[in-house]
């Protein structure tokens, strides 16, 4: 196995409480991302998902722990790690071309105007926004705005793309289209991606590995789910694959149930935060139990599962 592109060791975030005690949002976060891999982090709101992404981006300091990119510890934001923000964060006084161009000319300061434009055009075409170059963000739909955000992030050719719930503010139809485009673009550019989401289907569609986080306070990585669906999956027939519902049910069961009471569960199973269990629920029916066995569910919690399986 090659050296991971990103290695996160013992990351923690604590806030000083009013009485001097520290409130721990998350701690003991260990994971790594291989080059070309698409990794999703999934968990309930408040568990510090966005904080982890901001720490990886260099926008926020961690209370504890280290992040290594390509073997070197990060010391702040970098053009190597482009961020796609949930709220697209486009500058409303610039056109589409201006927004992408601002990023490109920040990356390559010695490029002349024509070269910047040509480079921007390539990425505007990639996100299928050709023809809207001179529009301002206010004239674009939510989906188009987020495409500009994606083009801006990709145009600086980062080693790593960090996405913070990039599609959650969009309507369902637009979200589906953009997810597919993200899949296509990542396949075309073999981009390494770390994405935050709380949408289970989005995670299954896009991610190679899905990191499951428990609830705050003291959130931690419960396990890492390997997506065993073939990489050429798509939104339309993904659900026909036998692995799909196994993975989906596993994820939802975790979010509904286990994310809350993970401490009790982990105490019994010899959980090690440095090596959170790697599970393949997609293979659960075909092969013996994975490294980590799911404990029996209490009878009271059976209700949500009905809604989940449909």
Q: Of the candidates 57, 124, 203, 213, which one interacts with another protein according to CB under 8 A?
A: 57
Q: What is the DSSP letter of 199?
A: -
Give the nearer residue to another protein in terms of CB position, either 150 or 222: 150
The answer to the question of residue 163 lying near another protein (CB under 8 A) is no
Kindly identify the residues of this chain, within the stretch 105-124, that bind another protein according to CB under 8 A.
Answer: 106-107
Window contacting another protein (CB under 8 A); options: 78-86, 192-200, 254-262, 274-282:
78-86
Cα separation values, 98 from 121, 133, 141, 185, 270, Å? 11, 8, 17, 22, 53
Window contacting another protein (CB under 8 A); options: 30-38, 42-50, 76-84, 185-193:
76-84
The answer to the question of residue 83 lying near another protein (CB under 8 A) is yes
Kindly identify the residues of this chain, within the stretch 89-108, that bind another protein according to CB under 8 A.
Answer: 89, 91-94, 102-103, 106-107
Q: Give the count of residues interacting with another protein (CB under 8 A).
A: 24
H helices of the chain, where?
49-57, 96-107, 113-126, 142-155, 172-189, 200-206, 242-253, 262-269, 303-309
Secondary structure class of 53 (helix, strand, coil)? helix
Answer for the pair 157, 130: CB distance below 8 angstroms, yes or no: no
CA 302/CA 238 separation, integer angstroms = 26
Give the nearer residue to another protein in terms of CB position, either 85 or 262: 85
The answer to the question of residue 155 lying near another protein (CB under 8 A) is no
Give the nearer residue to another protein in terms of CB position, either 23 or 79: 79
Other beta carbons less than 10 A from residue 26's beta carbon: 27
Q: How many CA atoms lie within 13 A of 29 on its CB side?
A: 35
Answer for the pair 4, 54: CB distance below 8 angstroms, yes or no: no
Give the nearer residue to another protein in terms of CB position, either 33 or 204: 33
The answer to the question of residue 82 lying near another protein (CB under 8 A) is yes
The answer to the question of residue 157 lying near another protein (CB under 8 A) is no
Footprint of another protein on this chain (CB under 8 A)?
Answer: 57-59, 76-79, 81-83, 85, 87, 89, 91-94, 102-103, 106-107, 136, 138, 156
């Amino acid at each position: 196995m090659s050296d991971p592109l990103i290695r996160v060791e013992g990351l923690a975030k604590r806030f000083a409480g009013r009485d001097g005690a520290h409130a721990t949002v998350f701690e003991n976060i260990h994971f790594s991302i291989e080059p070309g891999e698409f990794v999703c982090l999934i968990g309930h709101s408040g568990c510090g998902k966005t904080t982890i992404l901001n720490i990886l981006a260099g926008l926020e300091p961690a209370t504890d722990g280290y992040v290594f990119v390509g073997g070197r510890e990060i010391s702040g934001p970098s053009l190597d790690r482009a961020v796609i923000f949930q709220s697209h964060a486009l500058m409303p006084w610039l056109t589409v071309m201006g927004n992408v161009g601002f990023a490109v000319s920040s990356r390559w300061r010695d490029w002349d105007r024509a070269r910047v434009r040509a480079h921007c055009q390539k990425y505007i075409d990639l996100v299928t926004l050709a023809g809207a170059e001179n529009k301002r963000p206010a004239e674009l739909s939510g989906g188009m705005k987020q495409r500009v955000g994606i083009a801006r992030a990709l145009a600086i050719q980062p080693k790593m793309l960090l996405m913070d719930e990039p599609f959650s503010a969009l309507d369902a139809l637009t979200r589906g289209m953009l997810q597919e485009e993200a899949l296509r673009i990542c396949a075309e550019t073999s981009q390494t991606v770390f994405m935050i989401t709380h949408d289970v289907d989005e995670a299954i569609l896009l991610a190679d590995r899905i990191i499951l986080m428990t609830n705050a306070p003291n959130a931690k990585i419960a396990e890492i789910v390997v997506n065993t669906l073939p990489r050429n999956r798509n939104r339309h027939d993904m659900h026909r694959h036998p692995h799909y519902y196994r993975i989906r049910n596993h994820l939802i069961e975790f979010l509904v149930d286990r994310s809350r009471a993970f401490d009790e569960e982990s105490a019994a199973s010899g959980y090690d935060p440095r090596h959170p269990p790697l599970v393949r629920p997609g293979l659960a029916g075909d092969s013996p139990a994975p490294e980590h066995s799911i404990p029996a569910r209490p009878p009271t919690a059976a209700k949500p599962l009905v809604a989940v399986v449909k």
